[in-house]
Amino acid sequence: MLKPMIRAAALAAGLALAAAGSAWAELAAKLEVVADGLTQPIAMREAPDGSKRKFIVEQIGLIRILGANGKINATPFLDLRSKLIKQMSGFDERGLLSLAFHPKFKENGKFYVYYDVPVPGDADLPQVLWWSHHAILAEFKAKGDTADMKSEREVLRHPWPQFNHNGGDMHFGPDGMLYVSQGDGGYADDYGIGHHKVKGNGQDLTTTFGKILRINVDVPKGYDIPKDNPFVGRKVKDKDETGKDVQLDARGEIWSYGHRNPWRISFDMGGKRELFAGDVQQNSYEEVDIIAKGGNYGWRIVEGDHCFQHEYPNQHKGGCSMKGLTMPIMVYNNCNKFPKDCKGLSVTGGYVYRGKNKAWDGKYFFGDWSKQFGTADGNLYVGTRGADGKWSMDSVKATNTSFKSYVLAFAQDLDGEVYALVTDATGPGSAGKGKVLRIAP
């Protein structure tokens, strides 16, 4: 989510970055509380079984059921707290990060979670024992309102070098395949420990860091790589440790690349069923993308739609080649570089509205974590596609409350209504500060 270079200092000093911004259009909406008393609510999914149950994912390792009666069950649906890596209380990007129900959940009870665990002492790769954690994508089966803990099947395990830029969101697509977002490995500038020294992880097709993956989980063990993925059987040019040119296999799991930290992805329930992503950038710009098969979204060649050099991350010197890159549909100023004319510090991807209010049909609701670190100053935004295919970005103005929260994530129910998942705390150490808000006309 947030940029590591400001994290420690801002958390310690409580820096309040300027929140001023230029005037622009607003969309009026009510924010209706549907659940509160949560700790870092980071995802919510409605079970595709007709029960109207909504499953709220808390970063601390719990999944709670919000019943059709509007009340949260006393007993958690899933409790992974004993497995998770120990989180930093003030701010952490690790934990239980997402949930996806199998398209045939009603018949097979299968669901998938993405969570972070300590590096095991008997890891196969001694050189990465000091890395931050292992990311696990696992399959479980439900038993009514609880998960069968004994049913866990590990689908994917990925050693992670830093605590941040984990991505970790996932959705089943219209094709039945599971799409998984992966950050670039963490730290900053796609450079340093755990990153490709020459081009960074985002542009390295031999790693799944900085990518969106597409996999088939309907197999007994692990996962299969769909044969129609764009890089199956591809070779890529690289250099070995001596600088000699070599040919290496591209990772067949990759669907798109050139991402920094795709923080929340989603499929449009209608229209062309497009895949959207809010991709957190470095210090100057934030971006929203529509993800295409085999697309290169530019990191670390570009930040947003501006040239980027990791040695001079704030200068954006020209001269880079943007040939072959897929540009964002929306870009806005980050408050680190533009404190007087900015929209936030860290984009939070959302959903295309397909609910009852036809005036909002096709609008993409998303947000930004906050304009300030030490003070909750998150923002809700809406993107609208024009007749020419270009997108405009406006603010969502709450008409029934003074909105002051950190924006963690968004959600959508099976009726197409959209929700914002927010908190008043920067990290998992402050319990009960989170809530789920329905964005209503």
- Domain extents for the chain? 4-234+246-440
User: Tokens 């007087």 identify what position?
Assistant: 340
d(C-alpha 46, C-alpha 288), whole Å: 24
Cα angle: 139, vertex 142, 148; to 5 degrees: 75
Residue 267 pLDDT greater than 50, yes or no: yes
Least confident of 13-22, 26-35, 249-258, 362-371: 13-22
> Can you give the pLDDT at residue 131?
84
Three-state helix/strand/coil letters over the chain: CCCHHHHHHHHHHCCCCCCCCCCCCEEEEEEEEEEEEECCEEEEEECCCCCCCEEEEECCCEEEEECCCCCECCCCCEECCCCCCCCCCCCCCCCEEEEEECCCHHHHCEEEEEEEECCCCCCCCHHHCCCCEEEEEEEEEEECCEEEEEEEEEEEEEEECCCCCCCCCEEECCCCCEEEEECCCCCECCECCCCCCCCCCCCCCCCCCCEEEEEECCCCCCCECCCCCCCCCCEEEEECCCCCEEEEECCCCEEEECCCCEEEEEECCCCCCCEEEEECCCCCEEEEEEECCCCECCCCCEECCEECCCCCCCCCCCCCCCCCCCCCCEEEEECCCCCCCCCECCEEEEEECCCCCHHHCCCEEEEECCCCCCCCCCEEEEEEECCCCCEEEEEEEECCCCCCCEEEEEEECCCCCEEEEEECCCCCCCCCCEEEEEEEC
For the entire predicted model, the pTM comes to 0.93
Least confident of 1-5, 33-37, 121-125: 1-5
Residue 9 pLDDT greater than 50, yes or no: no
d(C-alpha 137, C-alpha 166), whole Å: 12
| CATH of range 4-234+246-440; options 1.10.3470.10, 3.40.50.1460, 2.60.120.860, 2.120.10.30 | 2.120.10.30
Rg of the Cα atoms in the chain: 20
**CA dist list (Å): 358 to 30, 236, 413:** 16, 46, 16
49-95, pLDDT tens digit by residue? 999 999 999 999 999 999 999 999 999 999 999 999 999 999 999 99
d(C-alpha 417, C-alpha 413), whole Å: 6
Give the neighbor-by-neighbor strand order of the sheet with 170-172: 170-172, 178-182, 211-215, 254-257
200-235, pLDDT tens digit by residue? 999 999 999 999 999 999 999 999 999 999 999 999
Return the structure tokens found at 132. Answer: 């931050």
104-138, pLDDT tens digit by residue? 999 999 999 999 999 886 555 544 556 899 999 99
User: Tokens 């895949």 identify what position?
Assistant: 275
Percent with pLDDT over 90 in the chain: 88
> Can you give the pLDDT at residue 318?
82
d(C-alpha 298, C-alpha 210), whole Å: 10
276-293, pLDDT tens digit by residue? 999 999 999 999 999 999
Residue 308 pLDDT greater than 60, yes or no: yes
Cα angle: 373, vertex 332, 160; to 5 degrees: 60
> Can you give the pLDDT at residue 15?
32
Residue 7 pLDDT greater than 70, yes or no: no
